[in-house]
Amino acid sequence: MNDFITGLQFLTRIKIAEQQVWSAESFGRSVKYFSFVGASLGALLWLLAMALTFLPERLGFLPAPQSVSSLVLLMAAVFLTGGLTCDGFMDSMDGLFSGRERERMLEIMKDSRVGANGVTAFVFLVLAKWSALQGMLPVQVGAAIWAMPIIGRMAMVIAITCFPYARPDGIGKAFAEHAGTGTLLLAMLSGGFFLALGGWKICVAGLAAICMALLFAHWASKQLEGLTGDLYGACCEISEVCLLMMVLLLG
């Protein structure tokens, strides 16, 4: 339970216990529970989606336009996570598309400042997510917003356990070194179960999203001879937008 709480409190703003000590081993052991963290986020976002859809009518108000509801859901997702994976995505885009050598790419990704590549890529990412949600039926939105954070954390587990770490140190290295055996299996089985609750279309969309995250992780790993914590976040964001797009296409 403590390892789940470690993962939950690192990956989200949800604080349910006071933790004074954050050890590398605890970070690593928490990886197997990332799908549960995603399900916790998904449940909160699903409740918000249902409230936005049905509560106004019950209170005698007109429902908010779907464009507004989609924006509120995406804002809530960023708020609940503190923008952690968004930051990783932007840093990754800055580094990978800088056109520099490996060492310089890693330096750019470590820089706290965000460059043009990161900002541009993030704008398109948010627009893609918003457009996908806006184009869905309300019942699709509920299932998609439930599955989105689950598939994102599953993609992070794959990136952590299946690819080497590119830096000699860093928080991401604690995840990679101490994840332990059975982490990938548990995360995939639990994540697959949670996705199945959304129906077969969610499962198909999730599989496509995982494949996209794998392709990106493989390409990024070739550029940097491994992955970093920023790239774990990028894999999360890329898998999430892929899932939303696939749900929209599947109808």
Task: Tell me what pLDDT residue 20 has.
Answer: 61
Dist CA 97 CA 241 (whole Å): 20
Find, among 12, 137, 7, the residue nearest to 70 by Cα: 137
Q: Strand, coil or helix: what is 99?
A: coil
Ordered alpha helix ranges (H), the chain: 2-11, 24-30, 34-58, 66-81, 84-96, 102-110, 116-134, 138-162, 171-178, 183-196, 200-224, 229-250
Task: Tell me what pLDDT residue 186 has.
Answer: 92
Look at 84-88, 94-98, 109-113, 170-174 and tell me which has the smallest mean pLDDT. 170-174
Look at 136-140, 161-165, 212-216, 229-233 and tell me which has the smallest mean pLDDT. 136-140
Q: What is the pLDDT of residues 70-103, one digit of tens each?
A: 999 999 999 999 999 999 999 999 999 988 999 9
pTM (predicted TM-score): 0.93
Dist CA 227 CA 96 (whole Å): 11
Dist CA 156 CA 151 (whole Å): 9
Task: Give burial (CB, 10 Å; 0-12/13-18/19+) of 76.
Answer: middle
Q: Would you say residue 165 has pLDDT above 70? A: yes
Residue 63 φ/ψ, nearest 5 degrees:
-65, 150
Read off the pLDDT of each residue in 157-176 and give the average, rounded to a whole number: 84
